[in-house]
Structure 1
């Protein structure tokens, strides 16, 4: 387990602020141990909460050319046939994973291949489970073209708390299955669009682990 680079500066600055706050409390209330202990407890608890947002587990990726891995930790909230209108221009199976504030927020490649399309969309910050969040919220669209020519599209979608999406890919880049491609601060949602003949291997309510849980099998 490591701390993700997206959180290192924030955690360092927060540590200094909390240290200064506690020093101030000890200086202003030198004879009030209840106040001092209360502030220390609250500071440690708050710091640990923020710290867990940026944890980055280390594990081995098991790669399968015909399997699709979960791009994020979270809960499966949508499995449906839908129309993808931005790039694929056709019907696809959509699987959506909701990332809560307690989930790991690293996003990983569901399949390996070359990035054939990338676009950032500014937008709103509706709650991630809102039906219009996929089309109206701040989001990124990424399309990866596999060796067999199949293209898989996925989106990072901001939510009410997630006000910063980080996506590290660029068009033409080659990435392996399970490799980190982005990070969403404080949780949100990832949508993935699969071919209609893909066999979805998860169901609504299932808990996924990014880069480890198989969510679909491709024909």
Structure 2
């Protein structure tokens, strides 16, 4: 199983903790040590599972808006996007549980025209105000169809580290990685009002694969 580059520090810490706790369990509990070691082993395995990098065939897209993350669609509504677009847009929000792959992908192809990191709170990721009050990043891409699309990584109650690797002027390719969020979080995508929305609330998404909307030239 291939692991994400963001896993290194976490796995080192988890390995040290597991080794220390397992040693203490064997030393003090002796024949009862398995009662501690087995649950620790499960948690240790989940750390590796969280940082997995799935092997996915990413296609080229022009009009399609691709699911940027694995998760569940929790919101589709018309909102005012005040940071960059300064106008109404359709917001699609996808919630990621700690068991989901947490690679963040470009939802559209085009050119990165804006990026900004915002420190903030750690409300639960499905809270509506988390989009504007939580720690977050905002990226905007001018798509191949000529539209400006904004998407936002949002830290949740558990997530405490957001990374994004793109810079203004970079080429964006729908479905390809641009960042990562550690442990439980959300991603919002803001689309033009005339976009054709394909997904619906409650849908499970596969990042880089599923089409969630279409934009026409």
Aligned twin of 1:11? 11
Deviations 1:22-53 (A, max 9, x none): 22332334xx312x111220221110122221
Deviations 1:52-102 (A, max 9, x none): 211110111122201000001100011111111111111111111011111
Aligned twin of 1:168? 165
**Structure 2, unpaired ranges of 5+:** none
Aligned twin of 2:210? 213
Residue 33 of structure 1 pairs with residue 24 of structure 2? no
| Aligned-partner Cα distance in 2 for 1:145–1:16 | 45
Aligned twin of 2:20? 20
Aligned residue pairs: how many?
216
Aligned twin of 2:85? 88
| Aligned-partner Cα distance in 2 for 1:126–1:148 | 35
Residue 202 of structure 1 pairs with residue 199 of structure 2? yes
Q: What are the equivalent positions in structure 2 for 1:76-155 lying under 5 Å apart?
A: 76-155=73-152
Cα deviation for residue 4 of structure 1 reads 0.8
Cα deviation for residue 187 of structure 1 reads 1.7
Deviations 1:155-177 (A, max 9, x none): 00111111111111111111211
| Aligned-partner Cα distance in 2 for 1:67–1:144 | 14
**Structure 1, unpaired ranges of 5+:** none
* TM score, norm. by length of structure 1: 0.94
Aligned-residue CA RMSD (Å) = 1.2
* TM score, norm. by length of structure 2: 0.95
